[in-house]
Structure formats: C-alpha cells, structure tokens
Amino acid sequence: MTHGNSKVFPDLDPSRYRPHELHSAERNWPETNCYVDLWIEVLSSLKRQPQAMLGFAVTQDFEGDQFTFFKVPLEDLESLYGIRVTELAIFDRPERHIVEQITRGRLSLVELDSYYLPDTRGLTYRQEHGKTTVAPNRIDIDAREMDYFHNGGFFSLSGEDFDGIFQRNAAADAALFLPYTEFVKFDPVGKDETETREEAWRLLRRHFNRRPSENPVRAFSAVFPEQVRNVAERDFAFFHKYAFNTLRQLGANFELLASHLEWLNHSAFEAPRTHALRISEVAKSTQFQLARAVTRKKFEPLMGVLEPASEAWDNLIDELGRTLGRARHAA
C-alpha cells in the first residue's frame, strides 16, 4: 500500500518554497531555534501572521548556564489561531502514526535526529547526532520519501536518510523507536486580522506581567567571562553549542520581539522596538568577540561587552510598561 498521496498543505513543493520574511537573510538572526522557526513557516503556509505570536519573547530569562530556549506557548497558538496541539502517543512505527494524521489533515511535530536531515548539510548532516523538531507534510513509506518543515524552510529527503530518520534499519530485537511527537489540529476558520491583533495585545500584556524580575542580560554578563574561560578548555564544537544556547537565543529572541512590536503597528512601540533590536545587535557582535576570545585565550575584552544590551533591556521594559499601561487605561 502506498502512502504518498496525502499532504497537509497540498500545494507546497520543496523545490519552489520561499521562506517567510522572518527568515530573511537580511536579519541579524535568520534562524532562531527549531521549534519557533518551524511554527513561523507553518503559520505562513496557513496564510496566518506568525508575527502575532511573538509577544511571549518578553518573558525570556537567564537560567544560569543558558537563556530560556523560547517556545511559543501552546495556549497562545489556540487563542490566536484556533490551533490545538496535543501529544501523539507512539506505540507503532512513528511514520505510520504520522501518515495517519496527515490523511486527517493534521501535522505532526516529531523530534528526530538531525544527522539524517540533508537541510543541515555542513552543520550536523552525516556529522553529528542531535535532537530537532520536524513537521512532515508528506510521507511516502513505500518510496521512502518525506517532505518536511524544519528550521526556516521546507525540504525533502529520501532513501537512506528516510531509513535513518525513522531507524528502519535497526536490529530486529532493538527497542521500538518512540520519539516525542505532538500533532496539530487546525481551525478551518480562524480569527480575522482585527481579532488576531486584539488577542495579540492581550497576550503581550499577559506576558509582560510574567517578565523576569531582574535584568537577565546583566545576570548573564556577570558570569559570562568565567563561562567563556571554561568553554575555551573544551573542544571547539562545544563553543558552538554554548553560543547557540546563550547569545543566539538571546539575540534571536529579542529580534523576534522587535518584529512583534513592529507588526502591532503602534507608534508608541517604536522606542521599545529599537531597544529590542539593540539587544539583538549586541548579542550578534558579542558572538564574534566570543569566538576570538576562545581562539586567542584572551578574555579581558569580554568584560562589560554586554552592558549596552543590559541597558537596552532596562529601557525596553520601562517604555513597554508605560505604553501597555496607557493602552490599558485607554481601553
């Protein structure tokens, strides 16, 4: 039996796919993390506005050894777009479960090994094993083919990569491959743009009230040079992991917040947006300085390098708080 005819988005073709503007190469951080990037492209394929969901970015904190790996809250997806995300139980071969949901018009979000994802060529493809979230739009089990959302785009794989991604060549007595998987039910109607904007305002106020009580950039800055000293003692591959979970998560998060404020299109958000972009820019420039420090084993230049971003966070929170307060009283 062939399972290749069903697609959640029937018109998508990996060879002609164009990513959303939030993944433009002109941005400071064209890709952020696998989960948020995936949702940006899925929402774009739904003809919905992914910028509406990004108010949660104001809640990012420093967690001691990393910045919050930011993810859109599932309740926000439901209130903004009518999208319901639920865990999918995997008790058979995962590709069979995913095909079942595709035939019902539902995407599955499944954690797979980037070692077998050809879109990561030059990074992890056939070089390094790592967990990442993928959303297959089409699976043909007999032809060993899959079209899928991953990071900032839409891709295809086949043959040995298909066998590897689903561990189809595992030994007969190997434990069943049970990746964590969610599935997505779409609201066929959804909110109109006015309703979506009103809900985005409400969510931004809610998330603002959940912001960190202390400046997370300043907390990171206090331990940054010593952390880098330790990173410099590890192999260079560890540098990339450290940078991804600190500076990239920080910078990408606040660039997305800036895009959210721009999309809300309120003149009073221009100053907070500028501060959010400042955090993003400082994180990017600091990542280059981090690489030099690790290579040269010179850490003094990192002292105070994040202070402009710390000041920008303070200004962002102060001005965003005043704007949201005025808007609430005017409502």
For residue 232, what are the contacts with CB-CB under 8 A and spacing of at least 6? 293, 294, 297, 299
Check residue 150 and report its DSSP letter.
E
In this structure, the number of other CB atoms found within 10 A of the CB of residue 300 comes to 8
Checking if the pLDDT of 316 tops 80, the result is: yes
pLDDT on residue 2? 41
CA distances (Å), origin 131, targets 87, 201, 231, 240: 17, 34, 22, 15
Closest CA to 145 of 124, 168, 115, 125: 168
Mean pLDDT calculated for residue range 135-163? 97
Distance of CA 310 to the CA centre of its chain: 23
Spatial separation of the C-alpha atoms in residues 262 and 264, rounded to whole Å: 5
Closest CA to 222 of 313, 312, 310: 310
Helix (H, G, I), strand (E, B) or coil at 23: helix
Is 283 in contact with 245 (CB distance < 8 Å)? Answer: no
For residue 111, what are the contacts with CB-CB under 8 A and spacing of at least 6? 131, 132, 133, 134, 179, 180, 181
Phi, psi dihedrals of residue 150, rounded to the nearest 5°: -160, 135
Is 320 in contact with 207 (CB distance < 8 Å)? Answer: no
Our CA dihedral for 159, 164, 168, 169, rounded to 10 degrees, sits at: 100
Q: Which residue has the tokens 């000041």?
A: 311
Checking if the pLDDT of 4 tops 70, the result is: no
The predicted-structure confidence for 170-199, as pLDDT tens digits, reads as follows 888 888 899 999 999 998 777 788 899 999
For the ranges 3-7, 10-14, 175-179, 313-317, the lowest mean pLDDT is seen at: 3-7
Check residue 167 and report its DSSP letter.
T
Q: Which residue has the tokens 């050894």?
A: 65
* Structural domains of the chain sorted by starting position, each given as residue range(s) with its CATH number in brackets: 14-185 (3.90.70), 193-330 (no CATH)
Closest CA to 281 of 259, 313, 252, 314: 252
In the structure encoding, which two tokens stand for residue 181, read together?
Answer: 């998987």
Mean pLDDT calculated for residue range 240-245? 95
Check residue 62 and report its DSSP letter.
B
Is 321 in contact with 281 (CB distance < 8 Å)? Answer: no
The predicted-structure confidence for 90-147, as pLDDT tens digits, reads as follows 999 999 999 999 999 999 999 999 999 999 998 889 998 989 999 999 999 999 999 9
Q: What does 222-281 look like in DSSP terms, one character per residue?
A: HHHHHHHHHHHTS-HHHHHHHHIIIIIHHHHHHHHHHHHHHHHT-GGGHHHHHHHHHHHH
In this structure, the number of other CB atoms found within 10 A of the CB of residue 94 comes to 24
Is 316 in contact with 275 (CB distance < 8 Å)? Answer: yes
The predicted-structure confidence for 252-303, as pLDDT tens digits, reads as follows 999 999 999 999 988 889 999 999 999 999 999 999 999 998 888 888 888 8
CA distances (Å), origin 178, targets 88, 133, 232, 321: 11, 14, 36, 44
Is 251 in contact with 279 (CB distance < 8 Å)? Answer: yes
Check residue 173 and report its DSSP letter.
T
The predicted-structure confidence for 45-82, as pLDDT tens digits, reads as follows 999 999 999 999 999 999 999 999 999 999 999 999 99
pLDDT on residue 20? 97
Spatial separation of the C-alpha atoms in residues 35 and 112, rounded to whole Å: 12
